[in-house]
Amino acid sequence: MNFLNEVAGRYPEALSLAAGRPYEEYFDLAAVPRYLARYERYLAEERGLAPDQIRRTVLQYGRTKGIIHELVARNLAVDEGIEVDPEAVVVTVGCQEAMVLVLRALRSDERDVLLAVTPTYVGLTGAARLVDLPVRAVRGGPAGVDLAELAAAVRAARTEGLRPRACYLLADNSNPSGVTLDLAARRALLELAEQEDLLLLEDNPYGLFSADRLPTLKALDTARRVVYLGSFAKTGLPGARVGYLVADQSVAAPDGTVSLLADELAKLKSMLTVNTSPIAQAVIAGKLLEHDCSLLRANDREIARYRENLATLLTALATAFPPGSGVSWNAPAGGFFLVVTVPFPVDDTLLEHSARDHALLFTPMRHFDDTPPAAHQLRLSVSLLTAAQVEEGVQRLAALVASQA
């Protein structure tokens, strides 16, 4: 994504339908000390800590698995109906560190491979490269995951003497595709994971932003097949860089002792970042506490904004590109992203032209997917914009499309 950042830097006046950062108009610097104070009050009143213990909890080195694990577990119960033992939670430096920890744990030697639903979030691809874990693409398609192709990929890898350890996906409002798996697909995927003895790595930064929310894979996971990857970047505060994972699986060591996967991942974390900033965790904890641990409630304004933006985008696209225009797009149930298919190649050269001549930024889908359809696709994001900016963005996209005719 370096090229994208670089283009964005060279054309600062261009309207960005590329950026996936959360809406920032409601950011409030005064909230940070308020959140800190709220968490300190919780430590005193609900946890019974003395002043010196509170000081130490927030300011000293902290527990490797994090200090807000109980609040994370409460949040998952309140917003997602996921009941987890707080001991299975590892608080991480954003979801990115969570991915690195899990992938590093899954790679023991060169026989290990990861499957990932494509188009794939670039952060996953980066984490896999960092830990030298090869990634094999499994087609997502309109249903969100092609189960037959997933099963075939697992078997093909095994036939080659490889160990397919897990399959990574976003089941809700995926980045970059915007696709959501329906309930039947979720159940079928969990069943396949059980049959094929495969872990599922469920990354869920956008699940809160659907009109009709479905249970997460983790909420449906009765066989502990799902490692859940959580982020507070979109729903808490990006500037805290706090994420987490839930890993309630049992792991047997060669000597026969059994431990919790979360504890094994914490050992890796102690070598990677030692612990997640307790101050940053306290900020997120305060926001959770202010809203009875519901981020759905905490984000009511943002959720309304994203829904309005997505509806505006769908309407504006339908107006700008009538049937027969050769331009098509999908209709996500929520989230930040939507994919447009155009009748000409979409690459970094086109992006440069778009930025320069049409003051519009987007993300070529070939950054996420190297199959042929992606070569004619682009991702639009609505998260950082007002509805008026979304409309203006579609006008500029129409001008770009016209320039390619």
**Among positions 7, 18, 38, 40, the unique one binding a copy of itself when judged by CB under 8 A:** 40
Q: How far is the CB of 119 from a copy of itself (least distance, A)?
A: 18
Name residue, tokens 């398609």. Answer: 141
Q: Is 397 in the site for a copy of itself (CB under 8 A)?
A: no
**Among positions 270, 349, 371, 404, the unique one binding a copy of itself when judged by CB under 8 A:** 270
Q: How far is the CB of 353 from a copy of itself (least distance, A)?
A: 24
Enumerate the H helices of 293-364 as residue ranges. Answer: 295-298, 300-320, 348-358
Q: Is the dihedral of CA 296, 203, 71, 61 positive or negative?
A: negative
Q: Which residue, 208 or 237, has its beta carbon nearer to a copy of itself?
A: 237
**Among positions 260, 268, 394, 400, the unique one binding a copy of itself when judged by CB under 8 A:** 268
Q: Is 27 in the site for a copy of itself (CB under 8 A)?
A: yes
**Among positions 239, 326, 345, 373, the unique one binding a copy of itself when judged by CB under 8 A:** 239
**Among positions 139, 187, 277, 395, the unique one binding a copy of itself when judged by CB under 8 A:** 277
Q: Is 58 in the site for a copy of itself (CB under 8 A)?
A: yes
- Beta bridge partners, 203, equal 229
CB-based contacts of 345: which residues, under 8 Å, 6+ apart?
375, 376
Which of 27, 55, 28 is CA-nearest to residue 39? 55
Rounded distance between C-alpha atoms, residue 35 and residue 41, angstroms: 10
Which of 276, 234, 236, 240 is CA-nearest to residue 98? 276
Q: At 185, is the secondary structure helix, strand, or coil?
A: helix
**Among positions 47, 129, 158, 301, the unique one binding a copy of itself when judged by CB under 8 A:** 129
Rounded distance between C-alpha atoms, residue 380 and residue 397, angstroms: 10
Q: What is the DSSP string of 249-281?
A: -EEE-TTS-EEEHHHHHHHHHHHHTSS--HHHH
Q: How far is the CB of 403 from a copy of itself (least distance, A)?
A: 32
Q: Which residue, 271 or 405, has its beta carbon nearer to a copy of itself?
A: 271
Cβ atoms within 10 Å of 332's Cβ, excluding its own: 24
Q: Please answer whether residues 328 and 231 qualify as being in contact, where contact means their C-beta atoms are separated by less than 8 angstroms.
A: no
Rounded distance between C-alpha atoms, residue 397 and residue 402, angstroms: 9
CB-based contacts of 11: which residues, under 8 Å, 6+ apart?
355, 356, 359, 361
> Residue 317 corresponds to which tokens in the numbers above?
């696209």
Q: How far is the CB of 109 from a copy of itself (least distance, A)?
A: 10
Q: How far is the CB of 171 from a copy of itself (least distance, A)?
A: 22
**Residues near a copy of itself (CB under 8 A), total:** 54
- Kindly indicate which of the ranges 82-90, 197-205, 278-286, 355-363 contains the residues binding a copy of itself, using the contact rule CB under 8 A: 278-286
Q: How far is the CB of 311 from a copy of itself (least distance, A)?
A: 25
Q: Is 271 in the site for a copy of itself (CB under 8 A)?
A: yes
Which of 383, 105, 98, 27 is CA-nearest to residue 242? 98
**Among positions 38, 104, 366, 396, the unique one binding a copy of itself when judged by CB under 8 A:** 104
Q: Is 272 in the site for a copy of itself (CB under 8 A)?
A: yes
Which of 88, 249, 92, 227 is CA-nearest to residue 167? 227
Q: Which residue, 97 or 369, has its beta carbon nearer to a copy of itself?
A: 97
Q: Is 147 in the site for a copy of itself (CB under 8 A)?
A: no
**Among positions 6, 24, 85, 191, the unique one binding a copy of itself when judged by CB under 8 A:** 24
Q: Which residue, 60 or 250, has its beta carbon nearer to a copy of itself?
A: 60
Q: Is 2 in the site for a copy of itself (CB under 8 A)?
A: yes
Residues in contact with a copy of itself by the rule CB under 8 A: 1-2, 21-22, 24, 27-29, 32-33, 36, 40, 52, 54-56, 58-62, 93-94, 96-97, 100, 104, 123, 126-127, 129-130, 132, 233, 237-242, 267-268, 270-280, 283
